[in-house]
């Protein structure tokens, strides 16, 4: 057993040289939003050598597993950001296990964010009437539905829970004008993202809410991101008004739109491109 301080130092030395296989979700896009240093060391522990015990072969295997799954996650993430929702749906349909690989990596990334956007949305919902019906577009592990009393339609590409509707969210089985709140929490991933928002518009009741949380760097025009004003303009042209925009969080931006009572949507909306969040290996 490597219990001496020398052994510990040796392990630490290794960790210092070999940084985790993951890079923060937004770092490849905007260096100003790097993960804080305190969580970097934590990430080294998580993604690097197993921290418990001194069994070298277990540590080595853990390290190799972490490296492989990190690479697999980055590949899936890039795929989701660079293909259409339909292609993503077909891809996961062929091998639903990949969805778990994706979400294991996603959770690892998110564990370094100081605040989770889904928690802000949960707080927002809890401050309102529980009778509001919600559609969570791209629900992931359906945390939202599990955290509120409201009726929530959880939608994602793969259903690992009977409550989740598996579909491409540009075409959901939800009734038109049937929900009060539509949520996109870090889920505008496909190249055809405007069709997801158009679908949300279809299922929302007049006066309903559209909440969109997205990675901040995707809306940083100084770094190739979209202009948030242009994005808001496009959603407004679909028949919404912008109730508020929350720029206070380090990692994400949150838009609160409200569907107009009498919506007249423009047919030729100019949607800005939302650049993918590609993870690079360090």
Least distance in Å: CB of 88 to ligand SAH? Answer: 5
Q: Which is nearer to ligand SAH, 66 or 158 (CB)?
A: 158
Least distance in Å: CB of 142 to ligand SAH? Answer: 8
| 260 close to 209: Cβ distance less than 8 angstroms | no
Least distance in Å: CB of 141 to ligand SAH? Answer: 7
| 242 close to 185: Cβ distance less than 8 angstroms | no
Least distance in Å: CB of 190 to ligand SAH? Answer: 5
Residue with tokens 């939003």: 33
Q: Which is nearer to ligand SAH, 117 or 272 (CB)?
A: 117
Interstrand relation of 134-137 and 152-156 (parallel, antiparallel or unpaired): parallel
Q: Which is nearer to ligand SAH, 140 or 239 (CB)?
A: 140
Least distance in Å: CB of 260 to ligand SAH? Answer: 25
Cα(182)–Cα(190) distance, rounded to whole angstroms?
A: 17
Least distance in Å: CB of 117 to ligand SAH? Answer: 6
Q: Which is nearer to ligand SAH, 189 or 203 (CB)?
A: 189
Q: Which is nearer to ligand SAH, 67 or 143 (CB)?
A: 143
Q: Which is nearer to ligand SAH, 164 or 238 (CB)?
A: 164
Q: Which of 179, 172, 258 is nearest to 212 (CA)?
A: 258
177: left (phi over 0), alpha (psi -120 to 50) or beta: left
Least distance in Å: CB of 230 to ligand SAH? Answer: 22
Residue with tokens 């028949």: 239
Q: Which is nearer to ligand SAH, 50 or 169 (CB)?
A: 169
114: left (phi over 0), alpha (psi -120 to 50) or beta: alpha
Residue 249 DSSP SS3: coil
- Using CB under 6 A, list all residues that contact ligand SAH: 80, 85, 88, 106, 118, 138-140, 143, 155-157, 168-169, 185-187, 189-190
| 85 close to 170: Cβ distance less than 8 angstroms | yes
Q: Any residues with CB less than 8 A from the CB of 57 and at least 6 apart, and which?
A: none
Concatenated DSSP letters for 251-276?
A: SEEEEEEEE-SS----SS--PPP---
């Amino acid at each position: 057993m490597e219990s001496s301080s020398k052994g510990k130092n040796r392990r630490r030395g290794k960790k210092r040289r070999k940084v985790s296989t993951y890079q923060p979700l937004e770092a490849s896009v905007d260096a100003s939003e790097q993960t804080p240093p305190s969580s970097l060391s934590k990430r080294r522990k998580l993604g690097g050598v197993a921290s418990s015990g001194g069994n070298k072969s277990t540590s080595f295997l853990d390290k190799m597993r972490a490296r492989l799954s990190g690479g697999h996650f980055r590949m899936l993430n890039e795929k989701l950001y660079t293909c259409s929702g339909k292609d993503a749906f077909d891809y996961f349909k062929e091998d639903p296990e990949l969805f778990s690989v994706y979400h294991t990596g996603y959770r690892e990334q998110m564990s370094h964010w100081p605040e989770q956007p889904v928690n802000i949305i949960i707080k927002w919902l809890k401050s309102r009437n529980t009778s509001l019906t919600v559609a969570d577009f791209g629900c992931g592990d359906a945390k939202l539905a599990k955290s509120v009393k409201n009726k929530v339609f959880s939608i994602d590409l793969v259903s690992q829970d009977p409550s989740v509707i598996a579909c491409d969210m540009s075409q959901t089985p939800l009734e038109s004008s049937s929900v009060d709140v539509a949520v996109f929490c870090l889920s505008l991933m496909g190249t055809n993202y405007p069709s997801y928002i158009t679908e949300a518009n279809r299922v929302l009741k007049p006066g309903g809410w559209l909440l969109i949380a997205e990675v901040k760097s995707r809306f940083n025009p100084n770094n190739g991101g979209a202009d948030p004003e242009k994005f808001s303009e496009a959603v407004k042209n679909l028949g919404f008004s912008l109730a508020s925009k929350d720029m206070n969080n380090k990692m994400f931006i949150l838009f609160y739109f409200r569907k107009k009572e009498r919506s007249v949507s423009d047919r030729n909306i100019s949607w800005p491109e939302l650049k993918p969040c590609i993870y690079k290996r360090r």
